[in-house]
């Protein structure tokens, strides 16, 4: 059975999709836009376009349809579970594993493994192809991500990410010698204007670009490379990879944003999500988890000459 959420606009002059996404943080921006395109978002009882700008006093209604029956198959794929309770799991994803099914990756994903492990105990907010997925990391990025077992937990965790209170730290090896011991990249990210499968640093005024902030700290220096610890303030698609390339220090092994001569032995970017921290959605207790660097990462470091 579908459900309806309704409220009165308190301040005007915001695009409808932005307004709905802010009012319903449990929905991703793409999920909001999908609802609008299906004619399921109304202003004063009339379906409207995402570019509409409701004014103060307008009545917004969002009709969320009943979740479809999941047609993604459960697969008995081993998972490294760092933490689990009735509301959530923290999983250490290996390099090479896709998070959720997509064209070309119908099986062998983290979602397939989660369905086998959790059965029906996964949140449904992000749709039938992404049950439980609160945030994601790229296929060739290893490390920690959190999975919600119910919609209550998903909403609470998504709000922390939106409010930048969800801690995410990464380790990376980048090309070149970064001069500073630490620094911050504050540069908006949007879809590349020509290569549509890539993201790029864009002027903040560009349609579709979103603010992105990455803090970095030097861990070790090598000849031709620098090992970094990075903390995300925001979580845009390919954020670390784009920001490091923007600085002129792309992530080692990155086949998309790095140099044309790729370090093939790394089988993708040398990037590991080593730490996450958050308030538990039910108890509000702060939890923090970390995992050591994986073998592909330490093997690469062992081949470098320290400065």
Domains of the chain: 3-64 (3.10.290.10), 67-162 (3.30.2350.10), 168-273+296-302 (3.30.2350.10)
Range of lowest pLDDT (20-24, 147-151, 190-194): 20-24
User: What is the pLDDT confidence band of residue 191, given thresholds at 50, 70 and 90?
Assistant: confident
For residue 134, what is the DSSP state?
S
Q: How far apart (Å, rounded) are the C-alpha atoms in residues 127 and 26?
A: 12
| Arithmetic mean of pLDDT over the chain | 91
Rounded to two decimals, the pTM is: 0.77
pLDDT tens by residue, 273-290: 999 999 999 999 999 999
Q: How far apart (Å, rounded) are the C-alpha atoms in residues 174 and 160?
A: 29
Angle of helix 16-23 versus helix 29-37 axis, rounded to 10: 120
Distance set, CA 129 to CA 1, 115, 239 (Å): 19, 11, 23
284: left (phi over 0), alpha (psi -120 to 50) or beta: left
| pLDDT at residue 2, rounded to an integer | 67
| pLDDT at residue 142, rounded to an integer | 98
Positions annotated as catalytic residues are 138
Q: Percent of the chain beyond pLDDT 70?
A: 96
Distance set, CA 27 to CA 34, 51, 151, 189, 281 (Å): 11, 18, 11, 20, 17
pLDDT tens by residue, 229-254: 999 999 999 999 999 999 999 999 99
Q: How far apart (Å, rounded) are the C-alpha atoms in residues 17 and 264?
A: 41
| pLDDT at residue 129, rounded to an integer | 66
| pLDDT at residue 68, rounded to an integer | 57
Closest CA to 170 of 232, 258, 126: 232
| pLDDT at residue 14, rounded to an integer | 83
């Amino acid at each position: 059975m579908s459900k309806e959420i309704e409220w009165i606009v308190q301040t005007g002059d915001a695009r409808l999709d932005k307004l709905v996404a802010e009012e319903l943080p449990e929905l991703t921006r793409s999920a909001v836009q999908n609802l609008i395109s299906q004619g399921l978002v109304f202003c004063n009882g009339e379906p409207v376009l995402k570019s509409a700008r409701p004014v103060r006093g307008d009545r917004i209604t969002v009709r969320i349809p009943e979740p479809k029956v999941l047609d993604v198959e459960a697969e008995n794929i081993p998972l490294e579970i760092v933490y689990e309770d009735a509301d959530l799991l923290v999983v250490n994803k290996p390099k090479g594993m896709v998070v959720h099914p997509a064209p070309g990756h119908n099986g062998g994903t983290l979602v397939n493994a989660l369905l086998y492990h959790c059965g029906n105990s996964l949140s449904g907010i992000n749709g039938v192809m992404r049950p439980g997925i609160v945030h994601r990391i790229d296929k060739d990025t290893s490390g920690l991500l959190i999975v919600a077992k119910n919609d209550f937990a998903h909403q609470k965790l998504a709000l922390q990410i939106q409010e930048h209170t969800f801690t995410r730290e990464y380790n990376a090896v980048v090309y070149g010698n970064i001069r500073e011991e630490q620094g911050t990249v504050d540069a908006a990210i949007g879809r590349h204007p020509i290569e549509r499968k890539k993201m790029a640093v864009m002027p903040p005024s560009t349609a579709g670009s979103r603010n992105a902030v990455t803090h970095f700290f030097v861990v070790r220096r090598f000849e031709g490379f620098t090992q970094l610890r990075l903390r995300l303030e925001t979580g845009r698609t390919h954020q670390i990879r784009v920001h490091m390339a923007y600085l002129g220090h792309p992530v080692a092994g990155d086949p998309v944003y790095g140099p044309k001569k790729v370090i093939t032995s790394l089988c993708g970017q040398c990037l590991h999500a080593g730490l996450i921290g958050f308030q538990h959605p039910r108890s509000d207790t702060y939890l923090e988890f970390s995992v050591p660097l994986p073998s592909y990462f330490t093997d690469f470091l062992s081949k470098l000459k320290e400065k």
